[in-house]
Homo-oligomer: A and B are copies of this chain.
Amino acid sequence: MTRMTPLGPDEPASHPYRLAARRSTAGDSAIDVGGRRIGGGDFALIAGPCAIETRDETIAIARVVRDAGATMLRGGAYKPRTSPYAFQGLGQAGLQILADARSETGLPVVTEVMDVRDVEAVAAVADMIQIGARNMQNYALLTEVGRARVPVLIKRGLSSTIDELLMAAEYVLKEGNAGVVLCERGIRTFETAYRFTLDLAAVAVLKTLTHLPVIVDPSHAAGRRDLVEPLALAAAAVGADGIIVEVHPDPDAAVCDGPQALRCDDFARFAARVQHVAAAAGERFAATAPA
């Protein structure tokens, strides 16, 4: 993980994001997540189901994405849902399934935490804890994951500014957790042809402002499977340090967000195309390489 250089005497106390700012360290930070790296030239391909549904299915998906070159497995055990009547995730049982999938495939796992009271349990299993877009300004939660021993993936709120995203990172960094990865996942605009407007300029801006790795989630932005690939290629080209995508063997049967999930049987082709464009844009695709 990155080492923070001490702030010099010319560093104003009021600096808005003193630890996240590019000037606070030399070069780009690379974050170690369960033995794989994100940032510093290593392009991460994080893939998996939206929600953890069953053990067998999760392990099957994990094998598919690992064989195609994914670097990490994603999957939701605790799911933020707009409606209280919608499926809320398997919770602790889902975490156990993720641990099993890691054992079976060797992939580090990334999963979301929504409640400060769950941070300890999630951190005990996850290789990287995700803060979802809806909780990007849940400061109690940011502070709590700042005290955890695993890296934190912070998704940009759907109408959060770039500055606010960096300040959310600062809440985590301030507690001593230097393993912060940022994620652009679409902002809310007037356009209705897709779900959110993927703001790739934000990735380019963030790379000028911070040393932290920045990845992109084209699945949640698009909300439509057919847009995920072109947006993933664009993310690779714009200079992102990785992407996080949803994959499912039978999207029509998925309990949530099926319409945006890539199909397992198409994933290897998808991953190869992303790898090809990332390489053309100068990223090292760390998919199958040891960190």
* Residues on A facing B (Cβ under 8 Å): 13-14, 16, 80-85, 114-117, 134-135, 137-141, 143, 158-159, 161-164, 167, 170-171, 174, 187-194, 197-205, 207-208, 221-222, 226-227, 230-231, 233-239, 276-277, 279-281
Quick one: which of B139, B174, B226, B237 contacts A236, CB cutoff 8 A?
A: B237
Distance of A123 from chain B, by nearest CB (Å): 16
Task: Give the complex CA separation of A193 and B201 in angstroms.
Answer: 9
Task: Give the complex CA separation of A82 and B162 in angstroms.
Answer: 12
Quick one: which of B159, B236, B238 contacts A159, CB cutoff 8 A?
A: B159
Task: Give the complex CA separation of A82 and B227 in angstroms.
Answer: 26
A contacts with B: majority SS? helix
Residue of B whose beta carbon sits closest to that of A118: B140
Known pairs A135-B138, A199-B197; A205 contacts B189 (CB<8 A): no
- The answer to whether A230 touches B222, judged by C-beta atoms less than 8 angstroms apart, is no
Distance of A143 from chain B, by nearest CB (Å): 8
Across-interface contacts of A221 in B (CB, < 8 A):
201
- The answer to whether A116 touches B114, judged by C-beta atoms less than 8 angstroms apart, is no
Distance of A13 from chain B, by nearest CB (Å): 8
